[in-house]
Amino acid sequence: MKDKVQWIIGIVIALLLMLPCSNVQAVNDVFVLDECELLTTEELFKLNEQANQIKDDLGYNAMYIAIEDMGDQDGFDYADLVYNSFYEGEPGVVLLRDHQEKMNYVNFLNGLEEYVTDAELDEALDNYLDGSSYYDGVQAYLTSVSKTFKRINQDYPDFVAGQGALPSDSESLTGKESTTEEASTTAEEGTTEETATTATLSGNQKELPYLVDMAHVFGQEDSDQIEQKLQTISQQEQCDVVVVFVDSLGDKTATEFADDYYDDNGYGYGASHDGILLLISTGERDYAISTTGFGITAFTDAGLVFIVEQMIGDLGDDDFYSAVITFVNLSEQFIQQAKTGEPYDVDNVPKMPLNPLVYLVEVVAGFAIAFGLAIYQKSKLTSVYEQASAADYTKQGSLVIHHQHDQFINRVTTSRVIETKNSSGGSSTHSGSLGTSHGGTSGSF
C-alpha cells in the first residue's frame, strides 16, 4: 500500500509540473488527487484553488482522492494513510473514491472527528454524489465541509490546529461509507449520476433512504412524497419497504441486484432484517422484488404475483409514480394482513374493487351488442311469416306413421381424470451472495 501512496505523490508532482509557473505559485498545497482522470487539468487547478482558500480562511485541510482500485484495503484506513502522508497530524477531512468498486468514504481526521455531527457528515457525502459531474460534486463537497469548518470555529474557538480541549458532550464519529451504483459516465465531462446511500448505525437506529433514485426518474416533490410514505409505513410496521431505481444492472440479474443492494446496505428490521425491496431498472426494463425475514412470510409467491399484476401496466407505460404508489399501498396492506396470522396467499389473495362505472359500461355495451344482433337476424327473415296454428307449418299428407318402436343397441361411457392443482401456497426462497435467505419475484415490463 505504501507503493501506491508513493505513486500518488508522483502524480501530484507531475500535476504541478504540468501547470503554468504562475499557477504553481498560486497553489500552495495540493488537495485534489485524481488517478482516474475524472477531472481535466483546468478543473483540478480550480478545485485545488478552492481547497487552498479554505485552508487559508479556516485553517483546515479538505482533500479529495480518486483512485482506480483500492484492492482489499479498508477505505477509511487507506484515506487516513494518504492524507497523513501529505498533512501528518493536521486536522482535516478527506473524501476517497474507489472508482472500480463505486465506493466513497468521508473521513474527518486528527481530532476534528470529535466535533462533526452525523448531519454534517451526511451532507458532505450527499452533496458530492448529487453533483451533475465529478467537478460539480467535488466543488459541492468542498463547499459543504467549509461550512462545517466555520461552524466548528464558531462553536469551539479554542480548537486550533488540533490543540485545545475536546467538547465533553460531543459525539465521536470517524467516518461515513457510501455504496453507490454508477448510472452513466461521460469520459470527457466525467459525468456521473448517483444517489447517495448512507447509513449511520447506532443500536437499532439508522438513517437510510427508503427511495433510492439512481435513474433520476422523479422530481423533488414526487421523491419527497414517496420517501415520506415509505418511511412512515416502514417505521410503523417495523418492516422496511424500499424502492430502488437504476438505469443499469451491470453484470447482475435483477434478482441478484435487488438481493445484494438490500443486504450490502443493511436494510431490514431486527435480527432477521424484515423488509421488502422493489428494484426497477429503466435501462433493461426489468424489475425484481426481494423479501427478507418477515417479508418472506408477508409476501407469498401468490401475493407477489398479485402485486405485480396491479402495477405492471403502469410500469409498461413508464408511469413510475403510479406503479410505486400501488406497490407501497399494497405492501402496507400485505404486512398488516400477515400480522393477523393469515398472510395473503393462494386461497385468499385480495380482490380489487370493481369501479361501478366500468360495470355499468360493460352492462350497457353487452345489451347494445345483443340487441343489435337480434335486429340484424330478424331483418334477414323476409320470406317467413307468422302462422295462426302449428298445423299450418306441415304439408298435408307428408307424414304417415304406420308402426313405431324403440330398440336398445348399446351404451358408451366416457371418463376422464380431473387433476387438482397444488394449493399449498407459501413463499419460495433462495440465498443471496452473502448467504441471506430471500424470497421474491422478477420479470420485465
- 3-class SS string, the chain: CHHHHHHHHHHHHHHHHHCCHHHHHHCCCCCEEECCCCCCHHHHHHHHHHHHHHHHHHCCEEEEEEECCCCCCCHHHHHHHHHHHHHCCCCEEEEEEECCCCEEEEEEECCHHHHCCHHHHHHHHHHHHCCCCHHHHHHHHHHHHHHHHHHHHHHCCCCECCECCCCCCCCCCCCEEEECCCCCEECCCCEECCCCCECCCECCECCCCCEEECCCCCCHHHHHHHHHHHHHHHHHHCCEEEEEEECCCCCCCHHHHHHHHHHHCCCCECCCCEEEEEEEECCCCEEEEEEECHHHHHCCHHHHHHHHHHHHHHHHCCCHHHHHHHHHHHHHHHHHHHCCCCCCCCCCCCCCCCCHHHHHHHHHHHHHHHHHHHHHHHHCCCCCCCCCCHHHHCCCCCCCCCCCCCCCCCCCCCCCCCCCCCCCCCCCCEECCCCCEEEEEEEEC
pTM here? Answer: 0.46
Residues 236 and 279 in one domain: yes
Burial readout 212-236 (b: 16 or more C-beta within 10 A, e: otherwise): bbbbebbeeebbeebbebbbebbee
Q: Is residue 384 part of a domain?
A: no
Q: Specify whether 271 is located in the same domain as 325.
A: yes
The larger pLDDT score, comparing residue 26 to residue 80, is at 80
Boundary (domain end) residue, out of 207, 234, 268: 207
| Total of domains in the chain | 2
Do 140 and 108 share a structural domain?
yes
Task: Single out the residue in 186, 207, 228 at which a domain terminates.
Answer: 207
Of the candidates 121, 198, 176, the residue with the CA atom closest to the CA atom of residue 152:
121
What are 71's three cell numbers? Answer: 484492492
Q: What is the mean pLDDT of residues 85-99?
A: 89
Residue-wise pLDDT for 14-25, tens only, equals: 444 444 443 433
Is 383 within a domain?
no
Name the residue range of residue 5's domain: 1-207
pLDDT of residue 389: 66
Say if residue 195 is in the same domain as residue 256: no
Indicate whether 445 belongs to any domain. yes
* Confidence at residue 181, expressed as pLDDT on a 0 to 100 scale: 38
Residue 51 confidence (pLDDT): 93
- 65 with 171, same domain? yes
Q: Give the tens place of pLDDT for each residue, 134-178.
A: 898 899 999 999 999 998 888 887 765 444 444 444 344 445 444
Does any domain span residue 2?
A: yes
Q: Is residue 388 part of a domain?
A: no
Sign of the alpha-carbon torsion through 210, 215, 217, 220: positive
Which pLDDT score, from 0 to 100, does residue 292 have?
Answer: 95
Of residues 96, 95, 98, the one with CA closest to residue 70 = 98
Whole-angstrom CA distances from 198 to 128, 129, 162, 244, 264 are 13, 11, 28, 14, 11
Range in 129-138, 171-180, 197-206 with the lowest mean pLDDT: 197-206
What integer is the mean pLDDT of 233-238? 93
Of 263 and 169, the one with more pLDDT = 263
- Are 24 and 86 within one domain? yes
pLDDT over 70 percentage in the chain: 72
For 319-345, what is each residue's pLDDT tens digit? 999 999 999 999 999 999 999 999 999
pLDDT at res. 191: 36
State the CATH number of the domain containing residue 223: 3.10.310.50
- The verdict on 169 and 261 lying in the same domain is no
Is 414 contained in some domain? no
Alpha carbon distance, N-terminus to C-terminus of the chain: 46
Tell me the range of 46-55, 71-80, 407-416 where mean pLDDT is highest. Answer: 46-55
| Range name among 16-25, 352-361, 427-436 with the lowest pLDDT average | 16-25
Q: Mean of the per-residue pLDDT values for the chain? A: 79
- Residue 42 included in any domain: yes
Residues 361 and 312 in one domain: yes
401 lies in some domain: no
| Distance, C-alpha 59 to centroid of its chain | 39
User: b/e map of 35-69 (b: 16 or more CB within 10 Å)?
Assistant: bbebbeeebbbbbbbbbbebbeebbbbbbbbbbee
Same domain, 183 and 263: no
Beta carbons of 110 and 92 less than 8 angstroms apart: yes
Q: Are residues 154 and 245 in the same domain?
A: no
Which of the four pLDDT bands, split at 50, 70 and 90, describes residue 199?
very low
pLDDT at 386: 65
* pLDDT (0 to 100) of residue 280: 97
Q: Are residues 192 and 338 in the same domain?
A: no
Last residue of a domain, one of 184, 207, 230: 207
* Across 246-267, average pLDDT: 92
Both 164 and 257 in one domain: the answer is no
For residues 36 and 302, the model is more confident at 302
Read off the pLDDT band of 32 (50, 70, 90).
Answer: very high
